[in-house]
A = this chain, B = another copy of it.
Amino acid sequence: MEAIEELAIQPCTSSLYLRPFRLCYRQNGTKKFWDFMRTHDSVSILIFNTSRQCFVVVKQFRPAVYMCELERHHPELFENPDKEGLSRVEDPLPAAVGVTYELCAGIVDKPDLSLEEIACEEILEECGYRVPVTNLRKITSYRSGVGVTGSRQTLFYAEVTDQMKTGEGGGHPEEGELIEVVEIPLEDSMKFAYDETFPKTMGVIFSFMWFQTNIAPKLPKK
């Protein structure tokens, strides 16, 4: 699906996106420090289309996932971490190894909006469904990346119908987002969840299982 070309890696000495800090502290009398990154909290949404009995998820090329796979095959790319220059990747892997299935999600960076409102915006932008805030059900929240970011993620459940589809979704291509909306039929969903050949987040697996336990038993019988 994706054409990924002209790859090159360079050390990143300053980034608008990665903002590392060091916390110095004393824990139970012992002096310590810990390097962490500031990030935003986030929301993610399990979307179930009742018209067609399928989950609506997104997939996109994730450079960080791709680089993990690339390093597995070409560890020499990172062998000299001190060098300043650009390492061209002469023998890249297919882009597919970095394409990841995820729940519709977004960061919490609008102080005037509730988590639910941000979630509804993401559903519209990424997946094209206009969902009233009252349709959202909070599943739970938890901590992500406890070693490095520690931010809070809140997971919602939203039921949608074909009538609520008002656009194509896909995110903001003008900002470089290339998000593909994917429908996973309910009947295939647990097989998909545990099929490791499709790279995916734990959020997909967890929320599909949550649905099986909490929603599926109450669905009208076909």
Contacts and interface: CB of A to CB of B under 8 A. Distances in A.
Interface in A31-52: 31-32, 34-39, 41
Number of copies: 2
Contact of A143 (B26, B35, B149, B200): B200
Contact of A194 (B23, B95, B140, B148): B140
A93 interface: no
A98 B152 CA distance: 12
A37 B148 contact: yes
Interface of A: 2-13, 15, 17-32, 34-39, 41, 61-68, 71, 78, 81, 86, 95, 98, 100, 102, 140-153, 176, 178, 193-194, 196, 199-206, 209-210, 212-213
Which 3 interchain pairs have the tightest Cβ spacing?
A64-B150, A65-B150, A34-B63
